[in-house]
Amino acid sequence: MPTIIVDGISYQVDANDNLLEALLGLGLDLPYFCWHPSMGSIGSCRQCAVIQYQDEDDQQGRLVMSCMTPVTEGAILSIDAEPAAEFRSAVIENLMINHPHDCPVCEEGGECHLQDMTVMAGHSMRHYKGLKTTHRNQYLGPLLNHEMNRCIACYRCVRYYQDYAGGTDLAVFGSRGRVYFGRHEDGVLQSEFAGNLVEVCPTGVFTDKPLSERYTRKWDLQSAPAVCTGCSMGCNISVAERYGELRRIHNRYNSEVNGYFLCDRGRFGGGFVNHEDRIRRCGVRNASGVYDPVSKQQMLEKVSALISAAGSKVVAIGSPRASLESNHLLGKLVGRENFYSGLSGREQSIINAIYAIQQTGGARIPTLREVEAADAVLILGEDVTNTSARLALSLRQTVRNRSKEMANQIQIPLWHDAAVRKLAQDEKSPLVLVTASEDRLEDVSCLTHRAGPDDTARIGYAIANIIDNRYSRPADLTDNEQTLAASIASILKNAEKPLIISGSGSLNLAVVEAAANVAWALKGENKDSGLIYCVPECNSLGVTMLHDGNSNNLDDLLSGSDDIDVAIVLENDLYRRAGSTAINSWLGKVKNLVVIDQLDNPTASVATLVLPAASFAETEGTLVNYEGRAQRSFAAFLPQGDIQGSWQWLLDIADQVGTQKFGSIRQFDQVTEDIAAQNAALSGVTKAAPDASYRSGAGQKIARMTHRASGRTAMVADVTMYEPQQPVDNTSALAFTMEGANLIKPGEVPSSLTPYIWSPGWNSNQAIIKFQAETGGALTDSDPGVRLIATASPVADLHTRHTTIPAITRHQGGSLQLVPGYHLFGSEELSAYSKAIAELTPRGYFAVHPDVAGQLGVADHDGLETQINGANVQLEVVVSESVARQCVVYSYGIDATGELVHEKRGTFKKAESWESSRPSNLIMSDR
């Protein structure tokens, strides 16, 4: 490690860093704008100048831009030298010439990197007396505000949007003093990752629109460390509240998972917490079908009476979107044999297979950071951008590894962003897509093949067989399949760290098994192969691990003939997972349906008793992500009314019933400990985060509010002049106050309990630099979460495991293969209730290839109908060249598509009476 001398003090730094990274990594303060740890340097803003001296005799030195200067052994530098400080102060004064004096009304105020850097650079008096440039702002959709006058032209937004996230509809226009960052014309930003501009922009040009509608300054928000429930990636988020409402979701850095960025479902999908359809009171359905509110105690007595009635048959349905704790207690209350995972049989068999594959140790399960290190990628039947968006953003970095290789060959440092990109031009590491319909990653893929799920599996099997002929080979491979598989196999064999991605998205077991074969075969060739499975929901893997992949599933229950006295449904809308006919006929056998949920969904609407459950923002819970990482999520605020965490409801019910099954379990942490004790696979969950007894070095709990939260005493001044006592948090080490351990003193707050990011002088999220062991690296006290699936050495004879190869898909007497099509906005249950997301959700549809449309006699905007298990489903037709022939792609989770998820095939005909009912708001990313 080279030694550098900064203002007379010697430091050891990383030779691969530029000076700015190195100096920031040492904890020194140096202002910057255009550099970003994930995006490297372009030397555009000139803000990070320091003096570099030739040698010890050099008294003068010269100005260098630290972000553009490599670390060299023995470099003598000064940040504090007068000429450097003066230069930086002049630069910021220049950048501020057109910046308005609107901090008091700007959403960025109080967490503005520009404010911080202006103060740091010492610019406190303006000399400029002229007019400021004024711009017209654009409408950019429901997620982001645009206020161009605040721009300081650092170019970070376009570098992030185009270069990092692969978007094409945000650019810079004009030149000189007139540059404008925006779109060609007003319109919704098309990138699924546009929301990150809120944090990437160093000032208030791009701000969070839903937040500004009910605005609160960062310092007045009450925050908690949480885990996103939008998909199975498990991105770490900071959830913030004011006046009992969720106000915004911000990124919470985890170097192994989401790094600096979220997807827009994650950032804006939390709006459901404030939705008018939230269930806030306990309700009992009366004879006329209306819910009468009852008190919490009355409800507990009713539920308890039902459960305790002699000879009562009680069953329970868990949920892949509920925490481990809630699912565990539900299973404990009714007994394992009466617990059903809440996944459909089809879904459960696929996820069981995934979990079994992960346990073989046949291939690594890469973290998202590791994904970015792969040198070839094969995606089999998973629309990653729409099911697990954050992974897609990582893959957009993965394909850049070729350019990094090229840069290494001629010794261009990798942080030298513009140079590395210029050198590589369009050269990319290979990414191969085999999907049933258009995929947003096609612009970075070297080979895209369109195939329905069964045919996708066949290609996967063929690839594995070509790599290692002990793996099963499809018997009747066509020449086309053979050629395709051979070329993909050769791409993968040329790589050192090939990555195979698949998942439950195509609802096809063979696809999942084929993907494992490819990864295992590559491992057999001594490749460091990785294998990722995207699973549908935030805790799909967790609820599967809870019973070691042996849970009963929803179909087991629905197909049973037993009469049931009480069925308890935990956070699960059954109508999304099975046909309505099957559910309704089962409900005929259920005397009392008890639903514990957050929103008034179709299942809650037919319940006998409804118990209001807390959302992820209002209670604690442990979730297991796609890689088997257990992460604890904490409440940002306590919910109003009778709402409480599902786990708390179950504890209260057990207490009321007086069951002995729960032993001494009364507290959240005891539930987690019980999970660890009862399930070998989950024995690590207690290590996901410190328990409620954790105290800082000074013996304090951790404050959810900032130390300068203002106006708490005035919050209820319209009701009483006395400040009520803050609620007490007995379930975690966090407190609902500004008093306690906070971020002022480094090391006081463990990373998994960090509610928001802040450091003295660093009010924006860029303060994270102060909490990293090295710039852009792991957090000082390690990244949150604990991985539960050990990477053991592979079990023997993996090639004998998966041998059931589907036949080639042919037209079968007018029946077509049903394939779910996913949408980042709309396919996930809860986020779809968020107002901003709902605005971007497309209408439900059946998408078909033009050939198929011709055969069926339909065109765009016509209707198609199908009879499935007694239900008639009609949706609008979308005709697209990019749908595989023999397939009908339907909008998963949008409109009446719950009827379809069970079926592999369907017979379609034109819906003669079809009339499109909603205005079209399909955006490009939805096609």
Partner 1 sequence: MSAVKNDMINVLSQQEIDAIEAEIEHLPDRKSAAIDALKIVQKYRGWVSDDSLRATAKLLEMSDEELDGIATFYSLIYRHPVGEKVVMYCDSVSCWIMGGNKVRDRLKEKLQIEPGQTTEDGKYTLLPVTCLGDCDHAPAMMVGDDLHHDLTPESLDKIFEEDA
Note the residues at the interface with partner 1 (CB under 8 A): 168-175, 180, 183-185, 426, 924
Beta strands in 545-634 (DSSP E): 564-570, 590-597, 609-612, 621-624, 629-633
- 575 vs 838: CA distance, rounded Å: 19
Query: How does strand 564-570 pair with strand 590-597?
Result: parallel
From the CB of 787, what's the least distance to partner 1, in Å? 40
From the CB of 265, what's the least distance to partner 1, in Å? 23
Residue 644 in 3-state DSSP?
Answer: strand
User: Among residues 79 and 170, whose Cβ is nearest to partner 1?
Assistant: 170
User: Among residues 280 and 927, whose Cβ is nearest to partner 1?
Assistant: 927
User: Among residues 146 and 183, whose Cβ is nearest to partner 1?
Assistant: 183
- 690 vs 781: CA distance, rounded Å: 12
Query: How does strand 314-317 pair with strand 339-340?
Result: parallel
Distances (CA, A) of 83 to 6, 54, 58, 86, 526: 15, 16, 14, 5, 56
User: Among residues 98 and 304, whose Cβ is nearest to partner 1?
Assistant: 98
From the CB of 426, what's the least distance to partner 1, in Å? 8
From the CB of 449, what's the least distance to partner 1, in Å? 21
Phi then psi for residue 690, to 5 deg, are -60, 150
Neighbouring CB atoms inside 10 A of 494's CB total 12
- Element spanning 735, H or E: strand 734-735
From the CB of 811, what's the least distance to partner 1, in Å? 28
User: Among residues 705 and 847, whose Cβ is nearest to partner 1?
Assistant: 847
User: Among residues 311 and 919, whose Cβ is nearest to partner 1?
Assistant: 919
- 150 vs 133: CA distance, rounded Å: 10
From the CB of 425, what's the least distance to partner 1, in Å? 9
From the CB of 838, what's the least distance to partner 1, in Å? 22
Confirm if 424 and 400 have CB atoms less than 8 A apart: yes
User: Among residues 236 and 437, whose Cβ is nearest to partner 1?
Assistant: 437
CA atoms within 13 A on the CB side of 433: 22
- 200 vs 43: CA distance, rounded Å: 17
From the CB of 441, what's the least distance to partner 1, in Å? 17
From the CB of 403, what's the least distance to partner 1, in Å? 17
- 374 vs 400: CA distance, rounded Å: 10
Query: How does strand 236-242 pair with strand 222-227?
Result: antiparallel
Give the residue from 92, 85, 64 showing the smallest Cα distance to 4.
64
From the CB of 184, what's the least distance to partner 1, in Å? 4
424, exposed or middle or buried, with CB in 10 Å at 0-12, 13-18, 19+? middle
User: Among residues 29 and 163, whose Cβ is nearest to partner 1?
Assistant: 163
**Which residues lie below 8 Å from residue 273, measured CB to CB, with a gap of 6+?**
245, 246, 615, 616, 617, 618
- 324 vs 671: CA distance, rounded Å: 9
User: Among residues 81 and 179, whose Cβ is nearest to partner 1?
Assistant: 179
For every residue of 583-603, DSSP letters joined together read HHHHHTTEEEEEEEESB--TT
User: Among residues 175 and 526, whose Cβ is nearest to partner 1?
Assistant: 175
Residue 916 has which token pair? 């499109």
922, exposed or middle or buried, with CB in 10 Å at 0-12, 13-18, 19+? middle
From the CB of 177, what's the least distance to partner 1, in Å? 13
From the CB of 153, what's the least distance to partner 1, in Å? 13
From the CB of 836, what's the least distance to partner 1, in Å? 22
Q: Is the C-alpha dihedral spanning 902, 831, 640, 650 positive or negative?
A: positive
From the CB of 922, what's the least distance to partner 1, in Å? 9
User: Among residues 173 and 243, whose Cβ is nearest to partner 1?
Assistant: 173
- Element spanning 379, H or E: strand 376-380
User: Among residues 175 and 793, whose Cβ is nearest to partner 1?
Assistant: 175
User: Among residues 129 and 176, whose Cβ is nearest to partner 1?
Assistant: 176
**Which residues lie below 8 Å from residue 565, measured CB to CB, with a gap of 6+?**
306, 309, 312, 313, 314, 591, 592
Residue 909 has which token pair? 């005909």
From the CB of 167, what's the least distance to partner 1, in Å? 9
Residue 911 has which token pair? 């819906």
Neighbouring CB atoms inside 10 A of 774's CB total 18
Residue 253 has which token pair? 């850095």
User: Among residues 161 and 575, whose Cβ is nearest to partner 1?
Assistant: 161
83, exposed or middle or buried, with CB in 10 Å at 0-12, 13-18, 19+? middle
User: Among residues 237 and 877, whose Cβ is nearest to partner 1?
Assistant: 877
- 277 vs 467: CA distance, rounded Å: 53
- 29 vs 761: CA distance, rounded Å: 9
User: Among residues 175 and 561, whose Cβ is nearest to partner 1?
Assistant: 175
From the CB of 451, what's the least distance to partner 1, in Å? 25
